[in-house]
Structures are given as structure tokens and as C-alpha cells.
Structure 1
Amino acid sequence: MQEDFLHYIWKHKKFQTDALLTSNKQPVLLSAVGEHNLNSGPDFFNAKLQIGGQLWAGNVEIHIKSSDWYVHHHETDSNYDNVILHVVWEHDAEIFRKNNTAIPTLELKHYVSTDAVAAYKAIFNTTQQWINCEKELGSVSSFVVDNWLERLYIERLERKANAVTEVLKHNKNNWEAVLFKLLCKNFGLKVNGDAFNSLANSIDFSVLRKQQSKVLSLEALLFGQAQLLDGDCQDPYFLELTKEYAFLKQKFALKTQSVVALQFFRLRPPNFPTIRLSQLAQVYFKNQNVFSKVIEAKTLKEFYDLFSVETSNYWESHYTFNKASKKVKKKVTKAFIDLLLINTIIPLKFSYSKYTGQPIEEELLSLIGCISAEKNTIVKTFRSLNLDAKSALESQAVLQLKTEYCDKNRCLQCAVGNTLLNASI
């Protein structure tokens, strides 16, 4: 038995509500079960009920056992002084408030049908499956699933936007600097994301802004801070970058002690950090006000035009210094820009809209709905269970579903889980 099941039973009144009695045989009449609280404090706020003919308004706390009240130290917490009813599965101890007044207890197991308990265990107490409801998932209506996926995406977007806000706090509300740091991290992808992030944090954005008129200076700044100019190489372009970086390092007192080492191992050459840093330099070389353009852009085409840059000439025939390769233009692909939109641009625009008080939620939902679904194991497995993500909105939503609900057994806080259990009780 899990507390989330008891929360569900209480919230939806999935028990016999007539002839309820407290543990000391006082009749209980329910007017309102209260508002479900998912944060700290009592489980349900503002419940209304009668106990022994006395009308009460206050909070309800739910536990598996009565003694859990003391296990969680509620007797010393003033947040629980207004609890008017303790709802438990098993009553094994009398409970008192801080002022030693007794709290009425309702032992719920006497009023819940065995069929309801069996249905809960059958659907959610499985351990040998990828997700608890994988056999039943395909039976849930598309209306329920589609609405739940949109809510899940907004939930995921809120979390990402909160992360943007944290970066903003550390950058004195400079949105241009925030965008650069977020873009830099995402240009590093999964393998070099942390390293690129440390690189971005080692540069004051004002320094980068001053170099935007010269791509050589931008590359020298980024490559130098990434410690890619530390080796012994006689390549003319390497020497040119090294000379420029030495000047910038002295002028702006640049430090590299906190920069994480870059990785080349097991990366496809187009994703080498040398290529990605050159492309990032081109974004800022070709666009003096990147943040303003990101905020003004609304369509996929506008974003593709903004970020569809190529490397500088040197990198057309190189992947690393001092080793030439077949000449080919190395352009940022639409698939890569899609990742930037999903992980950086849309969360940043959402965070900025909250900051300015100008909601653009529908615009962002429309934008991400136009982006193709991501390809990964979670998306692929859900597809095999008849939940097919057709857009990036839905692929992001199923990632949120798997990591924040399925993996944490939060089935009864999930619309799919609620639907399945309701159909069984």
C-alpha cells in the first residue's frame, strides 16, 4: 500500500462515504475533501466535515499508519496544528497535536472495496515492465493522452525556464550574456556540454561583444579559452590565432583555470569542438544583436536563417589543427538547430516572456509543434507501446512522463494512471 493511492482514494471519494466512523466511533460526514497539496505541509487544505455532529473546517493529513505522524515529527510542526482529521490505512496509535489535544482518526481500509485495492495493485505494483501500465497504455483515449502530453511539455518547459532564470540571476539580468552561455553549452552537445559551459563562464560577455567585428578575434577568444591553442603547432592559422589570443588574454586578464577539458573521443568529426566553436563564432560574427533577433523571430524559417552558419574558411579543410582533410563546407544542420530550439531558444523565450509579463505560450507551442520528434530510446519504446510522438512537443512530453512519473512511480499523479484506475474501480 502506498500513500499516493490513499491520496487518490480520498481526493476522488473512491470509498464508501456513508456511515463513516472515527477510530473512537464518532460519525463523520464529508462536505468537502479539501484541496490536494503537492508541496510541504498537510496533504489536503480547507476540508469541511462534521465529526460527532460538530462542524469542522481545516486540513487533512494522510498516512499508511497512524504512527507515521510521529515518524514524520508532525507533533512538533506548527504547520499541522490545523489538522482536523487524520486519514490512515491502519490505525496503530493515538495521535495528538502540540497542545496535546487528540486528532480524530479515520481508518480508511474499512471503507475501500477489495476490488479497488486489487485494481491498483494489478496496474501499478508491477516491477518487471519498462513502465507500470505498458500493457494498458494503448487503451487510453487519444483525447486524454494528447491533453496530458501538452501539460507535460509545459511542465518540462517551466523547469527549463526556471534554469534560465537562475543563469539570469548570475549574470546581472543581462539577457545577451544568458543567451550566449546557453548557446555555448548546447553547441557542446552532450559530450562537451559541461566543458563549453565552463568556457562560456570564463568569458565576460562584454569581452566577446567587443570582438564581434572580426571572426579571427572571436575564434581566438573561444579557442584560446578552450585551451586548444596550448600545443606546439606550426600551422599558419594556428599561429595567427595564438598571437591574437595572447593579445586578448593580456588585455582582458583572461583566466582558464576553471575551464573543463574538451573531448574528441567517440565524436563524429562534424561534432568536434573545433567545428562547433567555429560555427558559434560565426553566429556572433554575422549577428551583432543575437538576443534581439531570437526574441523577434517566430517561425522555423526565421530561426533556420539565423543559425544556418558555416565555419570559417580554415575549418572547411580541417577538423583539427595541423591535419588537413577533404574540403567541405561545414554548415549547421536543421537537425542541430532543432536541438537549439528545443533546449535553448524556446525555454529562453518562455522565460523572457514571464520576465516581461507578455505571455507567448501559444506561439511557443505552435513553434515546437512544427519541429520533428527527437529520436532516442525513450521515444522509440513509447512508440512500441502505441504512444507515438509526432513532434518535438510530444517527444519532450514523453521524456517528462518517463523520467518524472513512470520512473518515480507517480502513476496516480498521471492522467493516464488516473484514467486506467478509474476504469477499473
Structure 2
Amino acid sequence: MQEDFLHYLWKYKKFEATNLQTTNGEVVLIKNFGSHNLNSGPDFFNAQIQISDQLWAGNVELHLKSSDWFIHNHQNDTAYDNVILHVVWQHDTDIFREDNTVIPTLELKNYVQLKALHNYQNLINNKENWINCQNQISDISAFVKDNWLERLFFERLENKAQLIHSILQQSKNNWEALLFKMLAKNFGLKVNGDAFFSVANSFDFSIVMKQQNSLQNLEALFLGQAGLLESDVQDAYFLQLQNDYKFLCQKFGISNNNVIPMQFFRLRPPNFPTIRWSQLANLYVEHKNLFSKIIDCKTKEDIYDVFKVKTSEYWDTHYTFGKASKKVIKKVSTSFIHLLIINTIVPLKFCYAKQQGKDIDEELIQLLSQVSAEKNSIIDKFDSLNVKATSALQSQALLQLKNEYCSKNKCLQCAIGNVILTT
């Protein structure tokens, strides 16, 4: 049994709350169960409990065993001085206040509804399952699932916002610079995301702004900083970029000493770093005020218009320097734009709106509801359990559900788990 189960029992009153007695035989009447505290300190604040003829106002602490009070060193923490009731599953020792009076203890196992205990044990003890509720989740109503997934989507957004705010501080509150770093990371995809991000951090964004009138100069900057102009290649365009990059290094005093090397292994040619850097360079040549344009986008079609860019002409017949290939116009694909919407644009719009004191939740819901669900092993597994993501909003929410709840056995904090426990 986990202590979270006691929190669930107390919070949702899943026990016989009449005829309660402390371990010393005093009658307990609960006037107010208190508010659940998810931070440090007692588990429930501002409870009101009558013990015998005395009405107490204060906090409630819950443990599996009474002796856990000492294991957690609460006797040395003044935050627990105002505990008026110690609620435990099993009472094994008395707990005393500083003035040597006993803190009243309620042994909860004597009052728990057997059905609640049975449901909990059936849910939590399925160790061999991919998720604890995999045999029940398909039976949960669409109303419960859809509302919970929407909440999880915004919870995931809040988590992403923490990283964005950190990057924003490093970028001296320059939203255009922040956007560039986030785009670079996501243009690198999973394999090269960190490497692309290291390139974006290796020079000041003002250099990008100064070179936006020259696609060749931006390519030289990006590819040079990425370490892709250091080979001995006898190719006219390569040598031209190499010379341009040397000039930029001298002019702006930049180097790529701390850049993470680019990877080509196991990448499809359209995702080669050479192609993605050229597309990103072209994006910044096409749009001088990219951040403002993205903030103004309301629909996925608006975003398509911004990101429908391609590589420079050289890459129409190349994937790497010096090796010609069949001519293909290498535009940014719709599926790639969807990844940018999910991982860059929506989190960015969410954070910017919060800073401006605006509520754009409905706009973001509408936007991601128009985008196809992601495809990965977690989404595929949910699909096999008949939990089908119909949009990117739901696939993002399912990733949050699996990683932050299912994998951490937080069934008691999950809306789906709560329904199963009360069925």
C-alpha cells in the first residue's frame, strides 16, 4: 500500500465517517476535512475536527504507520506543531507534542470501505501490465477521458513553459532569439536536437538579423558553426561557403569550439543536417519578423504559409557536399510543420500569452485539434488498448499521462484511476 491511497481515502471520504474513535477511544467528528497540500508540510490544511467535546482547527497528517512520524523527522519540524489529528493505516506508537500531550490518532483501516480497498489492490498490483488500468481504460466514458486529456495537455504545456522561460532568460528576454533557438532545436529533430541547439547558442542572434538579406551568408554561418565546412571537399559551392564563413568568423569574433557534432547516421536524407540548416536559413531570409508573424498565426493554414520554405538551389541536387543526386526540390513537409507546431509554436504562443496576461487556451485547443496525432510507440500502445488519439492535442496528453502518471503509479492523482476506484 502507498501513502497516496490514504490521501485518496481522506480527500474523497472513502471510509465510514460516522462513529469514529481515536486509538484512545475518544469520539471523532469531522466538520471539515481540510484542503489537500501538495507541497511540503502537513498533508491537509485548515481542517476542523471535534474530538470528544473539544472542537479543533488545524492540520491533518497521514502515514501508513504512526511511527513514520519519526522516520520523516516531523518531531523536529515546527511546520507540524499545529497537527490536530494523525491519521494512519496502522497504529504502532503514540506521537507526542512538544508539551508531552498525545496527538490524537485515527486508525483508518477499521473504517475503510472494503470495495475501495479491493479496487485499489486490483489496480495497483498489476505489475506485469504496461499500465495499471490497461484492462479497464477502454471502458472509461469519453467525457471523462476527453476532459482529463485536455487537462493533461495544458499540464504538459506548463512543463514545457519552464524550459522556455529558462531559455528566454539566457536570451536576455529577446523573444526573437528564443524562437530561433527553439526552432533550431526542433529542426535538428531527436537525433540532432541538442547539436542544433548548441549551434544556436554559439553566437548572438543579432548576427542572424544582420545576415538576413543573404541566404548564402546565413547558410555559411549555420553550416560553418555546425562544423560542416571543415572537410577537404573540392566543390565550388562548398569552397564559397567556407570562405564566407571565415570572413564571418573574423568579422563577429565567433567560433564553434563548444558545438556538439552533427550526426548523419540512421537519418533519412531529407533530415540530414545540411538540408535542415539550409531550410532554416531560407526561413529567416523569407521572414524578417518571424516571431511576430508566428504569434499572429491562428490556424494551421496560417502556419503553413510561413513555413513553406525550401533549401537553396545547390541542395536541389545534393544531400551532402560534393556528391550530386537526383534533382528534388526539398521543401519543408507538412508533417515536419506539424512537429514544429507541437514542439515550438504552441508552447511559444502559450508562454507569450501568459506573459501578456492573455488567455488563448481555446485558440491553442482549436489549433492542435486540427493537427494529426503523433506516431510513436507510446501512442501506438494506447491505440492497441482502444484509446485512440484523434489529434496532436490528445497525443501530447497521452504522452503526459504515460510518462507522468502511469509510469510513476500516480493512479490516485489520475481522473481515470479515480473512476476505476469508485466503480
Do they fold alike, i.e. is TM over 0.5?
Answer: yes
Say if 2:304 is the partner of 1:304.
yes
Task: Name the TM-score, length of structure 2 as normaliser.
Answer: 0.98
**Could you tell me which residue of structure 2 aligns to residue 89 of structure 1?**
89
Deviates more, 1:93-102 or 1:367-376: 93-102
Shift of 1:100: 4.3
Inter-partner Cα distance in structure 1 for 2:182 and 2:155: 20
What amino acid is the match of 1:133?
C
1:26-425 mapped onto 2 (5 Å cutoff): 26-98=26-98, 100-423=100-423
> Secondary structure of the equivalent of 2:222?
helix
Deviates more, 1:109-118 or 1:19-28: 109-118
Q: Do the aligned partners of 2:41 and 2:79 also contact (CA within 8 Å) in 1? A: yes
Inter-partner Cα distance in structure 2 for 1:198 and 1:244: 21
Inter-partner Cα distance in structure 2 for 1:250 and 1:103: 73
Shift of 1:114: 3.0
Inter-partner Cα distance in structure 1 for 2:241 and 2:19: 83
> Secondary structure of the equivalent of 1:319?
strand
Shift of 1:72: 1.1
Inter-partner Cα distance in structure 2 for 1:381 and 1:280: 34
> Secondary structure of the equivalent of 1:367?
helix
Inter-partner Cα distance in structure 2 for 1:171 and 1:207: 14
Shift of 1:116: 2.3
Inter-partner Cα distance in structure 2 for 1:62 and 1:350: 37
What amino acid is the match of 1:305?
D
Inter-partner Cα distance in structure 1 for 2:99 and 2:271: 65
Shift of 1:52: 1.9
Inter-partner Cα distance in structure 2 for 1:325 and 1:82: 75
Unaligned stretches of 5+ residues in structure 2: none
Matched residue count:
423
Inter-partner Cα distance in structure 2 for 1:125 and 1:261: 45
Unaligned stretches of 5+ residues in structure 1: none
What amino acid is the match of 2:165?
T
> Secondary structure of the equivalent of 2:248?
helix
Runs (4 or more) in structure 1 with deviation over 6 Å come to: none
Show CA shifts across 1:354-409 (max 9, x none).
Answer: 11111111111110111011111111111111211100000001111011110000
Say if 2:14 is the partner of 1:14.
yes
Inter-partner Cα distance in structure 2 for 1:250 and 1:100: 75
What amino acid is the match of 2:159?
R
Q: Do the aligned partners of 1:65 and 1:90 also contact (CA within 8 Å) in 2? A: yes
Shift of 1:130: 0.7
Q: Kindly, what percent of the aligned residue pairs are identical?
A: 61
Inter-partner Cα distance in structure 2 for 1:98 and 1:351: 47
Task: Name the TM-score, length of structure 1 as normaliser.
Answer: 0.98
Q: Do the aligned partners of 1:162 and 1:351 also contact (CA within 8 Å) in 2? A: no
Inter-partner Cα distance in structure 1 for 2:163 and 2:78: 32
Inter-partner Cα distance in structure 2 for 1:98 and 1:156: 43
Deviates more, 1:95-104 or 1:105-114: 95-104
